Copies of this chain bind each other. A is one copy, B any other.
Amino acid sequence: MPSSEAVIRRPRADAERNRLRLMEAAKAVFTERGPNAALEEIASRAGVGIGTLYRHFSTRQALLAEVYRHAFEQLAEAAIQLSLALPPLDALRAWLRLFVDYIATKQVVLAALGATGNAAPAPASGPTVTSVMTDLAERAAAAGDIVLNVDPIDLLRALMGVANVNNGPGWQANAQRLIDILIEGLRPTR
C-alpha cells in the first residue's frame, strides 16, 4: 500500500525525452523567429502536441528561462573567473563587455530579462546575473573605484536600452562605449 507520503517515481522516460526535444526546438525557433515565435511551431517542430508543450512549460517565460539558463549560468561563471583574475574595476568593465556581446548574439534574452522583472531566471542554485552584477559592482565600490549610488542592475538595463530595437549596425559599439561612460560617471569625484 502507498505510504502516507506520496510515492515518488522517477519521471517517465518519454516525458524527459520530450522535454529535451522541446527545448532544442525552442532554441532553434526563438533564434530564427524571435521571442514571440508561435509556440505551436515549437511544439510541432519538436514532434509533440501543443498540450505537451504547455504541460512542460506553463508559460512562454518559463520556456525562455529554461532555454537560456545555460547561457546565463556561463555568464555568471565568467564573472567569478574575472573577479579572480582582474582588479575589481577591470573585472566589472570586462564583464559588462561580455554582457553586451551576450545580448548581441541572443537578443531573445531581452524578453526573458524584461518580463520576469528579475534580471534572470534563477537557476536551481548558484549565482544569477543579478547577483553577479551586484557583486562585481560592490567589489569595485569597496575598492573605492566607483561610488555606487544606483541599483547596479540599472546599469544593465541601460545597456539593454541601447541594444533594444536599435538594430542599426554599430549599436554594439555604442553599447561598449556606454560602458566606459557609465563607469566614468560612477567614479568618485576627486
Number of A residues with CB within 8 Å of any CB on chain B: 30
A168 CB within 8 Å of chain B:
yes
**Residue of B whose beta carbon sits closest to that of A149:** B177
A185 CB within 8 Å of chain B:
yes
A186 CB within 8 Å of chain B:
yes
Contacts of A182 in B (CB 8 A): 181-182, 185
Prevailing SS type, chain A contact patch: helix
**A121 CB to nearest B CB, Å:** 15
A164-B117 Cα distance, complex, nearest whole Å? 10
Interface residues of A (CB under 8 A from B): 114-115, 117, 149-151, 154, 157-162, 164-168, 174-175, 177-178, 180-187
Q: List 22 A-B contacts (CB under 8 A).
A: A114-B164, A115-B165, A117-B165, A117-B167, A117-B168, A150-B174, A150-B177, A150-B181, A151-B174, A154-B175, A154-B178, A157-B166, A158-B159, A158-B161, A159-B161, A161-B161, A161-B164, A164-B164, A180-B185, A181-B186, A184-B187, A185-B185
